[in-house]
Amino acid sequence: MKLILTDEQKDLSASVRAFLADTSPMARVREIAESAESYDPAVWRRMSGELGLTGLAVPEAYGGAGFGMSELAVVLEELGAALTPAPFFASAVLAAGVLVQLGDESAAKEYLPGIASGSVIATLAEGTLHSRATDDGSYLLTGTAPRVLNGLDAGLILVVADSPAAVYAVPSDAPDLVRTPLTTLDLTRPQARLEFAGTPARLIGPLDATSALARTMDLASVALAAEQLGGLRRCLSTIVEYAKLRVQFGRFVGSFQGVKHKLADMHCTLEQAESIVRYAAWAADFAPDELPVAAALAQSFVGPAYFAVARDHLLLHGGIGFTWEHDAHLYYKRAKSAELLLGPPRHHRALLAQRLGLR
């Protein structure tokens, strides 16, 4: 079990942090959040090209760098800390993840290199969807995926349909596909509703992809926890700095025990969350048997932990924290939307109970 970063991983983290501080500072994040854009294409190009982040965990055979979850987690921590608006989670985590897990050689060859290079943005769509086979061996999809991450940005949509579940590929310009943007609490991460009305689709992988999808979701749970850890750490360091500057009653507010003890508890939460994320990433890479429990553990703990810390960091700013101009609400909203992204905490706790053999 490896719970501390290697020197190479620390270097990776430092270079991603420096890149994001330079190209995607909070002022820029805000600009994008308040515009109709969902991300900055120039930053995306450099992130995926120059830094190779989108291909980091894609196998070398498909144009990636072949690293594991431990490295991907380090990158996601920085993206989560900087709140960078980008289709990274949709494309490099969910879509790339499911393509790797499905083990469909020809689909992987066709789609993964584009995702790895960043030239294709892909996403994963789930909902109430059905497929119908046509005479020529292709499929038609019908139904609705109510909330699809970066559903409008994606050029390639990987759709989960039927029960047992199978995965289908649909290009975004396919006929009989309607994409409607949703209003999201989190301004840095767009979602859309996708309606399929006999949309032509290509089957990828087996007709029963249950186990590949379960593993994809477990890996995504770990990846999301890493992103949440980054946000949590940033919120804590921001409010600690503020508590050292803000004076009331002739004292720095950080010297009041009501504040100090809350910050100390937040720090304890950070220490635990980091330990869980390192462990879960290690399990993803080296102990596949432990992954199901580790993934459910990660989302059950880190999701609510991030929201609690983001909430308290906002509150400890006082009135300024409630203003639109302050960044605190951006983190608060991201923390809440992330906590629910792969199912609410009760879903992950139920999974954990099941996997621990409690039910």
- Binding region for other proteins (CB under 8 A): 1-4, 240, 243-244, 251-252, 254-257, 260-261, 263-265, 267-268, 271-276, 278-279, 297, 300-301, 349, 352-353, 356, 358-359
Residue at 273: amino acid letter: A
Nearer to other proteins, 203 or 294 (CB): 294
Cα angle 58-60-63, degrees, rounded to a multiple of 5: 75
Beta carbon of residue 314, minimum distance to other proteins (angstroms, whole number)? 18
Which tokens hold the place of 283? 């399990």
Nearer to other proteins, 46 or 349 (CB): 349
Beta carbon of residue 273, minimum distance to other proteins (angstroms, whole number)? 8
Beta bridge partners of 193: 180
Beta carbon of residue 70, minimum distance to other proteins (angstroms, whole number)? 14
Beta carbon of residue 209, minimum distance to other proteins (angstroms, whole number)? 28
Q: Are 163 and 128 in contact (CB under 8 A)?
A: no
Beta carbon of residue 352, minimum distance to other proteins (angstroms, whole number)? 6
Could you give the maximum distance between any two Cα atoms of the chain, in Å?
79
Structure letter (DSSP) for residue 92: I
Nearer to other proteins, 135 or 271 (CB): 271
Beta carbon of residue 4, minimum distance to other proteins (angstroms, whole number)? 5
Among the listed residues 48, 36, 30, 38, the one whose alpha carbon sits nearest the alpha carbon of residue 151? 38
Structure letter (DSSP) for residue 236: H
Beta carbon of residue 78, minimum distance to other proteins (angstroms, whole number)? 20
Beta carbon of residue 77, minimum distance to other proteins (angstroms, whole number)? 15
Among the listed residues 149, 295, 274, 152, the one whose alpha carbon sits nearest the alpha carbon of residue 222? 295
Nearer to other proteins, 119 or 255 (CB): 255
Beta carbon of residue 229, minimum distance to other proteins (angstroms, whole number)? 12
Q: How many CB atoms lie within 10 A of CB 34?
A: 10
Nearer to other proteins, 109 or 251 (CB): 251
Nearer to other proteins, 27 or 359 (CB): 359
Beta carbon of residue 295, minimum distance to other proteins (angstroms, whole number)? 13
Q: Are 221 and 177 in contact (CB under 8 A)?
A: no
Nearer to other proteins, 249 or 324 (CB): 249
Q: What DSSP letter does each residue of 249-311 carry, written as one string?
A: TTEEGGGSHHHHHHHHHHHHHHHHHHHHHHHHHHHHHH-GGGHHHHHHHHHHHHHHHHHHHHH
Which tokens hold the place of 73? 């987690």
Nearer to other proteins, 48 or 228 (CB): 228
97's CB contacts (< 8 A; 6+ apart) are 216, 219, 220, 223
Beta bridge partners of 156: 122, 171
Nearer to other proteins, 65 or 315 (CB): 315
Identify the residue whose tokens are 């990433």.
281
Identify the residue whose tokens are 């099941």.
354
Residue 175: is the preceding peptide bond cis (ω within 30°)? no
Nearer to other proteins, 5 or 51 (CB): 5
Using DSSP's 3-state secondary structure scheme, residue 200 falls into strand
Which tokens hold the place of 74? 């380090």
